[in-house]
Structure 1
Amino acid sequence: MDVRLSASLLAGIVLLFHGFTAWAMVEVSMEDRVEVFKGDTAQITCMFTSDDGIGALTIQWFYVLRTGEKQKIYYQDATMQVVDRGTPFTDRIMVNVTAATGEVVLTIADVQIKDQLEFICLVKSLTDGVSEGRTRLLVFERPDFPTIEGVQTGISVHEDTLSKIGSCEVKNGFPKPNITWYRNNAPLRVSDVVKVMPSTTTESSGLFSVSSELSLKVTKEDKDAQFYCEVTYLVPGGTRMTETSRINITVYYPSTAVHVWVESPKGKIKEGDSITFNCHGNGNSPSSVYVIRHEDNEYGLESNMVVLKNVTRLQSGLYECISTDMETFEDLSGNTTVFVNYLDHAVVLPTNMEVAQGEELTATCNALSSLQTHTAWFKDGREVLVGHTLTMKDATFDTAGTYKCVVTVPEIDGMETMANLRVHVKGAPKIIKPEQTDLEESVANMVDLTCHVRGFPAPSVIWTTRDGKVLETTSQTETEDGVQSVVSVEVTSEDLTAFCNASNEYGADALAFNIKAKSSGVIIAVIIICILLLAILGSVLYFLYKKGKICGRSGKQDLTKEKSSKDNIVVEMKSDNTEDAILLGVNGEKLPPSNQ
């Protein structure tokens, strides 16, 4: 055969053979990735096509080491199925082959973080050649709920450097979670006034813990801002997000205005009150110092307040509150005006008056005040007149006494003053007759006699008896309209008359007290009963004697013969009809005078 023809035929046969081989080669297809949560079961599917039956195929599974080398974990042919020993998957994998669908499934139980590897499925046919596919196993773990912690100290807007606001932390996630800071629902981006410092920790379990620290150049507006963290993390098939709670920070900023006011008392102020001033700036810098100034006086504040006790009218005027920022040494001030109302002591003119009976009296009462006043006059607790002037016509002894002038300020409770007027009505003494001047008392009792005399000048009182004897006065007291005199007398068996004699330069008056002595009815009754009992006893003894029942007498017997005188029983009887006393013996006979 021609060499050229032979060469052409050989080339054609080779081309035909190679074309047939490409058409009949075994093919493997796999997903790029399989995603699963840590602890779950993963299934990696390997799809193959081949003209050879399953008995002509060899199936192997590998995973790729970190170094790039392949490590076999499973082998299968027509005669055996072998799981390689000594690998991390030896006790956790299972392989199922479905020839009808050309499907090989590698099942991995209890997937761990370290199982995130690339797995290779290799299928070899006796006639169709070899093919492999690769799938990456991705493992996920939801992180713990994130936490946030703000700084506990206040931050001044005067700080030259960025100030730490807080820190966020999220633990035990896989893959690594991401933290984003928010202020008032707007994400914070790193800039000259915003700094975020993240850090990541790999736990022994292979999980990631992430923390983030936020620092800011704070402004006054940050005092009301809410800060929080958003954490995003991957899960099979997507992304999830969670947020921390909101925090606030304390921002110290200087005041731009100062306000001062009277906290108490509410309403009008009077002398003697305690005034509480409150002073506040619209800032909150702890370096600010407050004082309240009134004329030449300065008062330091505690808790933005100062108390002035027992104020007087001299403390009326303008009060200025001054705030000094000790960082910038700038002053701000606000002011308020205070008026302290006053009521001077009441002045009564005259304070003492002497008028004759029938005359007219006039007195005035005034008290200087910053407010409208009300004046009233009282006597013995009863209101007698309203107004500044007290006028009374036709004075009598009833007019005499003490009048109280009370001046009040109706607009302010408790604001009042008072003064007294003493009125004397001149006239002759007048004794006020008591309900009883005729008395009856038992002998030896002491009786107090009281004499109330009206008149001015104060009358002189002398107590006397009917026969002109002067009695010693027990007590004498000057009253509103005169005097009251008391004398104590002892009741004797004789009736007594005591005279109260009162006199002054205008005249005199007298009053008699009659005291009648009375005997004791109880004593008289006792004496009568005793006499009756003695009479009865004498009669009984005489009867017994006559009957011979006494001393063994039989018939007539002279008791005096053998009886000593000490045995004689003698009863003395008195009669209203005779002055002689009769002595009776035991038999009732009258004894001779010699035996008496």
Structure 2
Amino acid sequence: MEAKYHGNKPCHIVFCILTIFPLFKGLGSYTVNSAYGDTIIMPCRLDVPQNLMFGKWKYEKPDGSPVFIAFRSSTKKSVQFDDVPEYKDRLSLSENYTLSVSNARISDERRFVCMLVTEDNVFEAPTVVKVFISESQPFLIRKPLFLEEPCTHALSDCQSLLPPPSSKIQYFINNSLISKKINAVIIIFTKQMDPVTQLYTMTSSLEYKTTKADIQVPFTCSVTYYGPTGQKTVHSEQAVFDIYYPTEQVTIQVLPPKTAIKEGDNITLKCLGNGNPPPEEFLFYLPGQLEGIRSSNTYTLTDVRRNATGDYKCSLIDKKSMIASTAITVHYLDLSLNPSGEVTKQIGDTLPVSCTISASRNATVVWIKDNIRLRSSPSFSSLHYQDAGNYVCETALQEVEGLKKRESLTLIVEGKPQIKMTKKTDPSGLSKTIICHVEGFPKPAIQWTITGSGSVINQTEESPYINGRYYSKIIISPEENVTLTCTAENQLERTVNSLNVSAISIPEHDEADDISDENREKVNDQAKLIVGIVVGLLLAALVAGVVYWLYMKKSK
């Protein structure tokens, strides 16, 4: 056996002790956990003796034979590393004999021993190294774009890079574990080791029988392995699958959705199939038509009329028995006002007015005159000036938004001017007020004429023209008896009336309602009648008194 020299001293005795004799002083095993790719740090865990010659590190093969990897002299402070290919350029040894191994590998999982050697003894401290994967997230590969129901498909492969011993891979759908016990599930595991890293590529293949319930449901896989802190489970990113299945039902919709459809609306029929992917074309059947119209999933009708009311249907192109229908009612509202527009009538005429409604359902009717709602429909058996105005007959269907109609009648009531004159003496007796009341349409123009002498205290004053009536007032101070003439004229006729007014020095009674001399005679006749009635009452009282006197006398 060849002796090895470390420094200037032969070490053949020590070498023999290290390689031949198993008797030495040492400590129990110590475990160092390290993450894959990190630096493994192994303290020597021995007190350095006073007479230390050198320190060495070795590791043990599976059969127990040693492999020396590092040497450090206590005298020369030099470090040497043995020619071990797997640890080339990966080792460092500190002054306190702490061994560091960079870029930790799975193959570094073994038993290392620190040896401190004196001239008469060898001290050993073993260290067991464990290398773990710090984070190994699985990922899904070979993901199909879509699946068909109810077939069994190779859903996906779940792959992860793991250290030995083999860890387990599981599958989840909608966060629920897929069990092998389900008949629709087949899970196959494979593993392959990288000879350099000694890491295993674990692959789990899943075959799964899909259903409609799985459409757009999140799918994941998980890997469970042991790390430095114990058992760990990591999930892959989620994946979703499109499940293809045939159409089993057809539905039809009316767009835009409305509570009621009215004439003039545009409506769109939309046909839908519950398959995935949904059908893109359909046959549309209009009311009374046996042949369908081929179209995309929508069919539009514009400016519909009341005759569009009926049943509308749609079906699949390749399966016409799969059909859906909907009933559409097109609401309508007609209004007829007779007469309408501008109508001119004479005062006292009769004018029948009718507002006729025709609608798809009961409609409300409202009459409005000059923006004021009437309690009932207008009826004109004898027209008056106040009947003139703008009339509107308005109707609406309350259930159908926007369906309302209205017609208008502008009524003009014409009449020849009618005059009534009145007079009144001022309490001071210095002036008299003469009023000319005029009624007629179009509005008559009033003109005053005075015959006789007297001063006009106040020029004519007119009232507002309301319902075909207004008056003109004049105040005079007559010095002698005068005659006032009121002339009213419109497009229909010219009317004249006069009133005699006595001088202010001659006392006279005011006449509140004199129109002409004929009216004055009527007033005198009424006065005579009143006097006759009073005289008759007095005579009756006298006769009654005489009869009572005779009765009393006879009784005595």
Q: TM-score range by the shorter chain?
A: 0.5 to 0.7
Q: CA deviation at 1:230?
A: 0.9
CA RMSD of aligned residues (A): 5.8
Report the residue type matching 1:110 in the other structure. S
Q: 43, 67, 73: which is aligned to 2:69?
A: 73
List aligned pairs for 1:278-357, cutoff 5 A: 278-287=270-279, 289-296=281-288, 298=292, 306-323=299-316, 329=319, 332-346=322-336, 348=338, 357=347
| 8 Å CA contact 2:41, 2:100 repeated in 1 | yes
Secondary structure of 1:346 counterpart: strand
Superposition pairs of residues 53-452 of structure 1, within 5 angstroms: 62-63=58-59, 71-73=67-69, 83-87=80-84, 88=87, 92=91, 107-110=99-102, 112-113=104-105, 116=108, 118=110, 137-147=129-139, 153-157=145-149, 162=153, 164=155, 170=160, 179-183=169-173, 184-187=175-178, 189=180, 194=186, 202=194, 216-223=208-215, 225-236=217-228, 238-287=230-279, 289-296=281-288, 298=292, 306-323=299-316, 329=319, 332-346=322-336, 348=338, 357-378=347-368, 386-387=376-377, 390-396=378-384, 404-419=392-407, 432-433=442-443
1:422-466 residue CA offsets vs partner (Å, 9 max, x unmatched)? 87879779774566769xxxxxxxxxxxxxxxxxxxxxxxxxxxx
The one-letter amino acid of 1:113's match is R
The one-letter code of the counterpart of 1:393 is S
1:221 aligned counterpart, secondary structure: helix
Q: 1:420 to 1:56 in 2, by over 3 A?
A: closer
**Is 1:509 equivalent to 2:493 in the alignment?**
yes
- From the superposition, tell whether residues 273 and 106 of structure 1 become closer, same or farther in structure 2 (CA, over 3 Å): same
Query: Residue type of the partner of 1:309?
Result: T
The 1:62–1:274 alpha-carbon spacing in structure 2 relative to 1, beyond 3 Å, is: same
Q: Report how many aligned residue pairs link the two structures.
A: 404
Q: Aligned with 1:231: secondary structure?
A: strand
Partner AA of 1:334 in structure 2? A
Gaps of 5+ in 1: 1-23, 48-52, 98-104, 439-480, 482-498, 513-596
Equivalent residues of 1:397, 1:425 under 8 A apart: yes
> Helix, strand or coil for the counterpart of 2:365?
strand
Residues 187, 204 of structure 2: 8 Å contact kept: no
Aligned counterparts of 1:431 and 1:107: Cα–Cα separation in 2: 127
Say which one has the larger Rg: 1
Which segments of 5 or more consecutive residues in structure 2 lack a partner in the other structure? 1-21, 418-439, 449-467, 469-486, 497-556
* Candidates 34, 37, 49, aligned match of 1:36: 34
Letter in 2 for 1:251: I
Question: Residue 131 of structure 2 aligns to a residue in which SS?
Answer: strand
* Cα deviations by residue, 1:155-210 (Å, 9 ceiling, x for unpaired): 3327x67254x565556878777543222321454987546686768598776666
- Give the partner amino acid of 2:329: F
Contact 1:89/1:108, CA 8 A, preserved across alignment: no
- Counterpart of 2:547 in structure 1 is none
Equivalent residue letter for 2:177: A
1:14 corresponds to: none
Distance 1:235 1:401 in 2: 98
Q: Secondary structure at the match of 1:391?
A: coil
Q: Does the CA contact (< 8 Å) of 1:431 and 1:509 recur in 2?
A: no
1:238 deviates by 3.8
Matching residue's letter, 1:73: I
Question: Partners of 1:56 and 1:210 in 2: how far apart?
Answer: 49
Cα pair distance change 1:511/1:149, threshold 3 Å: farther
CA distance in 1, matches of 2:207, 2:31: 40
Please identify, of 418-427 and 276-285, the stretch whose mean Cα deviation from structure 2 is larger.
418-427
Q: Answer whether contact 2:163 2:198 (CA < 8 A) is retained.
A: no
Q: Which stretch of the first structure deviates more once superposed, 314-323 or 183-192?
A: 183-192
TM-score, normalization: structure 1? Answer: 0.50
Name the CA shift for 1:26/1:295 in 2 (closer, same or farther; >3 Å): same
**Whole-Å Cα distance in 2 between the matches of residues 272 and 222 of structure 1?**
45
Identity %, equivalent residues: 21
Please give the secondary structure, in 1, of the residue aligned with 2:225: strand
For 1:75 and 1:391, the matched residues in 2 are separated by 129
Shift of 1:274: 3.1
Q: State whether residues 179 and 229 of structure 1, in contact with CA within 8 Å, keep that contact through their aligned partners in structure 2.
A: yes
Secondary structure at the counterpart of residue 353 of structure 2:
strand
Find the aligned partners of 2:73 and 2:344 in 1 and give their Cα distance. Answer: 147
Opposite residue 313 of structure 1, the aligned amino acid is R
Secondary structure of the 2:361 match is coil
Whether contact under 8 Å (1:322, 1:333) holds in the other structure is: yes
Mapped to 2, the partners of 1:26 and 1:86 lie a distance apart of 26
